[in-house]
């Protein structure tokens, strides 16, 4: 079993990730700004300010992890000053990933589909082609998306500097079984009145995202250097033809559009080739589940 350090361990994705790895018998070190109120077998929790390099380096070195999963971040620019979002996300990512590289740990961290620029843009726009893939230009206007672009450059630098594998997981809107937030958006969807969707109604189930994290840090996965990988559900959450919905709501569609039915607007081919990963969960079954999440938070 491995020692796995997880940042953002009190957050949604972080707490589910700690729970999964601890359940599998790994030794988990969960890091967040505050300690959780509860405990978890096979998990130790540390409180730290990840924007402090010395504190972060000391904590990672003491844990001596086999892998580091960096999930801590301010998740969007809506509730904080843009400068705070950018500085917090970039500095903490540099500190955590550099410390992980110095420790020789495999790295997976939460990038975002927001780096393409479509999610928080002042004027919603369309890419030149669908589906969007890892080669689609990143053109963010907002501090959150920009922090993810810089974070991927940090991950690439760490992989070069320390010779460790690093995977940037470009995840979409994360939903949780038993607590999906997709139903109201789908049931209230009217192409004639709907607002443009920055991620084209794409989401990912937290269980699938953790599967991708597991694959990214698995020593058996042949990764060299840094790789960016899209991680989304296979289909949109509105249950409609994706291309038709984009054209109706956004008022246009790129000439280069190869989308079939309700499939996601993002290409998942690289995740399958590199990680052997494909999404297994859909809103169709997950919305109705009664699932308890982690109880230590």
Residue 207 inside a domain? The answer is yes
Report the C-alpha dihedral over residues 107, 108, 110, 113, rounded to 10 degrees.
120
Whole-number average pLDDT of the chain: 97
43-47 vs 27-32, strand pairing mode = parallel
- Quote the pLDDT of residue 10: 98
Residue 254 inside a domain? The answer is no
Q: How many domains does the chain have?
A: 1
Residue 9 inside a domain? The answer is yes
**Residue 40 in contact with residue 19, Cβ under 8 Å?**
yes
The alpha carbons of the chain give a radius of gyration, in whole angstroms, of 19
- Quote the pLDDT of residue 78: 81
Confidence band, pLDDT 50/70/90 cuts, at residue 13: very high
CATH number at residue 271: 3.40.50.720
Range of the domain at 68: 3-177+203-234+264-281
Residue 292 inside a domain? The answer is no
pLDDT tens-place string over residues 247-282:
999 999 999 999 999 999 999 999 999 999 999 999
Residue 23 inside a domain? The answer is yes
pLDDT tens-place string over residues 29-42:
999 999 999 999 99
Q: Could you tell me which residues come within 8 angstroms of residue 219 by beta carbon, excluding any fewer than 6 positions away?
A: 66, 106
Residue 252 inside a domain? The answer is no
Query: Catalytic residue at 144?
Result: yes
DSSP label at residue 194: P
Burial class (CB in 10 A: 0-12, 13-18, 19+), 237: buried
Total residues found in the chain within this entry: 297
Residue 112 inside a domain? The answer is yes
- Taking 90 as the threshold, does the pLDDT of residue 197 lie above it? yes
Residue 290 inside a domain? The answer is no
User: Per the residue annotation, which of 116, 144, 180, 203 is the catalytic one?
Assistant: 144
User: Which residue carries 């978890």 as its tokens?
Assistant: 40
Burial class (CB in 10 A: 0-12, 13-18, 19+), 73: buried
């Amino acid at each position: 079993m491995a020692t796995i350090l997880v940042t953002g361990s009190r957050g949604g994705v972080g707490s589910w990730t700690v729970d999964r790895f601890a359940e599998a018998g790994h030794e988990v070190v969960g890091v967040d700004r505050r300690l959780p109120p509860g405990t978890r077998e096979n998990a130790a929790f540390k409180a730290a300010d990840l924007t402090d390099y010395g504190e972060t380096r000391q904590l990672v070195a003491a844990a001596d992890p086999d892998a580091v999963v960096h999930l801590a971040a301010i998740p969007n620019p809506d509730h904080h000053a843009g400068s705070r979002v950018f500085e917090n996300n970039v500095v903490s990512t540099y500190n955590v990933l550099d410390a992980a590289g110095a420790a020789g740990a495999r790295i997976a961290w939460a990038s975002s589909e927001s780096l393409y620029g479509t999610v928080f843009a002042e004027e919603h726009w369309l890419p030149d082609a669908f589906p969007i893939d890892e080669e689609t230009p990143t053109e963010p206007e907002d501090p959150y998306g920009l922090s993810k672009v810089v974070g991927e450059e940090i991950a690439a630098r760490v992989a070069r500097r320390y010779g460790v594998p690093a995977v940037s997981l470009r995840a979409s809107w994360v939903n949780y079984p038993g607590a999906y937030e997709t139903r109201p958006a789908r049931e209230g969807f009217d192409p004639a009145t709907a607002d443009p969707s920055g991620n084209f109604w794409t989401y990912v189930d937290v269980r699938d995202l953790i599967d991708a994290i597991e694959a990214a840090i698995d020593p058996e996965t042949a990764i060299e250097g840094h790789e960016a990988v899209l991680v989304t559900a296979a289909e949109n959450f509105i249950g409609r033809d994706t291309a038709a919905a984009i054209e109706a709501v956004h008022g246009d569609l790129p000439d280069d559009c190869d989308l079939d039915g309700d499939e996601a607007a993002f290409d998942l081919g690289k995740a399958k080739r590199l990680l052997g990963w494909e999404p297994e969960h859909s809103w169709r079954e997950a919305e109705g589940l009664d699932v308890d999440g982690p109880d230590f938070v």
